[in-house]
Amino acid sequence: MNNLIKRTLTGILFVAVVAGCVLYNSYSLLALFSIVTVAALWEFYSLMEKTGKADIEKVVHCFGGFLLVVAFFMYASTDYGTSVFIPYIIWFLYLFISQLYLKKENPLQNWAYTILGHIYIALPFGLLGMMPFFDDKTYQSVLPFAFFVFIWINDTGAYIVGITFGRHRLFERISPKKSWEGFFGGLVLSVATAAVFYYYFSSTLNLYEWIGMSLVTVIFGTWGDLTESLIKRTINIKDSGSVLPGHGGVLDRFDSVLLAAPACMIYFALLNLIR
């Protein structure tokens, strides 16, 4: 029971912080995504070092992830153009040149795991930071807010329906507790939530576009969850960290985001082409 209370309180605080930062203004959103990116990269690189195959300069490369998130945000919200990526490109050059002088035992693994962390974590949060500027350079908090709401509603619905009715395993080799019943339960609730967003924000997206966004978020969010589960199962750990009491690490809380965010940005790009 104590663990349930701890998990519930942490969950409420987590939702409040994320929702508050997204809704307040663009800079609070940038601050949130920057902190989460650095924390998630730190967890990821620490896990990779535990495999014994990598020796990563975590401070430098977590800072590189921060630079990428800021660059995407600046590119979407200002008129500076591609020059905003120059600091990140400097980091990229350092990544390769530094291995010539550091004399690490496994430079190939260091490069591979470092770049994997940026592709898997920093790039999705960078793209997510562009979401509020989907139509123009005016900040629209409703899109990233809806994105997180769809993920939360899906997680809650999948858990409740899965616990109550789950019989058929969704991906037993990777995540034995997930069921098809839970997946569709979360999906239906997310689509219903999309209809609510349409009722209040019909000027942002039409009904079918809101439903499409919810479907993309749920489907790719589920794959994102399973991908992180595969990483943890491969290196034989239960949680990515312990920073969030009752919930594990930062990666455990944002795993759905890491595939859903790029997929949603592709979805929005396609909408622009269709309109």
Range(s) of the domain holding residue 263? 141-275
Q: In this structure, is residue 242 part of a structural domain? A: yes
Q: Which residues contact 228 (CB under 8 A, 6 or more apart)?
A: 240, 251, 252, 255, 258
Do 43 and 132 belong together in one domain?
Answer: yes
Q: In this structure, is residue 118 part of a structural domain? A: yes
Q: Whole-angstrom Cα distance, residue 65 to residue 37?
A: 7
Q: In this structure, is residue 155 part of a structural domain? A: yes
Question: pLDDT tier at 274 (50, 70, 90 boundaries)?
Answer: confident
Q: Locate all alpha helices (DSSP H) within the chain, ordered by sequence.
A: 2-24, 26-50, 58-77, 86-102, 107-117, 123-128, 142-165, 180-200, 207-234, 250-254, 257-274
Do 185 and 125 belong together in one domain?
Answer: no
Q: Whole-angstrom Cα distance, residue 232 to residue 237?
A: 5
Question: Which of residues 134 and 210 earns the better pLDDT score?
Answer: 210
Q: How many domains does the chain have?
A: 2
Do 125 and 164 belong together in one domain?
Answer: no
Domain boundary among 85, 111, 136: 136
Domain boundary among 136, 156, 178: 136
Question: Using one digit for the tens of pLDDT, what is the confidence trace for 99-133?
Answer: 999 988 889 999 999 999 999 999 999 999 999 99
Predicted confidence at residue 166, as pLDDT, reads: 77
Location of structure tokens 């601050």? 31
With a cut of 90, say whether residue 268 has pLDDT above it. yes
Do 180 and 199 belong together in one domain?
Answer: yes
Contact 125, 36 (CB under 8 A): yes
Domain boundary among 136, 153, 184: 136
Q: In this structure, is residue 16 part of a structural domain? A: no
What's the mean pLDDT when you consider all of the chain?
Answer: 91
Q: In this structure, is residue 1 part of a structural domain? A: no
Q: In this structure, is residue 4 part of a structural domain? A: no
Question: pLDDT tier at 1 (50, 70, 90 boundaries)?
Answer: very low
- CA end-to-end distance (rounded Å), the chain: 51
Provide the Cα torsion 72, 77, 79, 80; round to 10°: -30
Question: Using one digit for the tens of pLDDT, what is the confidence trace for 58-96?
Answer: 999 999 999 999 999 999 999 899 999 999 999 999 999
Q: In this structure, is residue 18 part of a structural domain? A: no
Predicted confidence at residue 263, as pLDDT, reads: 97
Do 207 and 125 belong together in one domain?
Answer: no
Q: H or E element: which one contains 138?
A: none
Contact 267, 274 (CB under 8 A): no
Mean of the pLDDT values across residues 223-243?
A: 86
Q: Cβ of 202: how many Cβ atoms within 10 Å?
A: 11
With a cut of 70, say whether residue 247 has pLDDT above it. no
Task: Please give the angle made by the CA atoms of 256, 257 and 260, to the nearest 5 degrees.
Answer: 90
Model-level pTM?
A: 0.92
Mean of the pLDDT values across residues 5-13?
A: 79
Do 93 and 173 belong together in one domain?
Answer: no
Do 125 and 162 belong together in one domain?
Answer: no
Question: pLDDT tier at 4 (50, 70, 90 boundaries)?
Answer: low
With a cut of 70, say whether residue 2 has pLDDT above it. no
Do 71 and 156 belong together in one domain?
Answer: no
Do 123 and 228 belong together in one domain?
Answer: no
Question: Using one digit for the tens of pLDDT, what is the confidence trace for 172-184?
Answer: 888 888 889 999 9
Q: In this structure, is residue 21 part of a structural domain? A: no
Burial of 137 (C-beta count, 10 Å sphere; 0-12/13-18/19+): exposed
Do 165 and 246 belong together in one domain?
Answer: yes
Do 54 and 100 belong together in one domain?
Answer: yes
- Using a pLDDT cut of 70, give the percent of the chain over it: 96
The residue type at 53: K
Q: H or E element: which one contains 244?
A: none
The residue type at 48: M
Question: Using one digit for the tens of pLDDT, what is the confidence trace for 12-63?
Answer: 888 999 999 999 999 999 999 999 999 999 999 999 988 777 889 999 999 9
With a cut of 70, say whether residue 210 has pLDDT above it. yes
Do 145 and 108 belong together in one domain?
Answer: no
What are the Cα distances from residue 62, in Å, to 13, 206, 220? 25, 38, 25
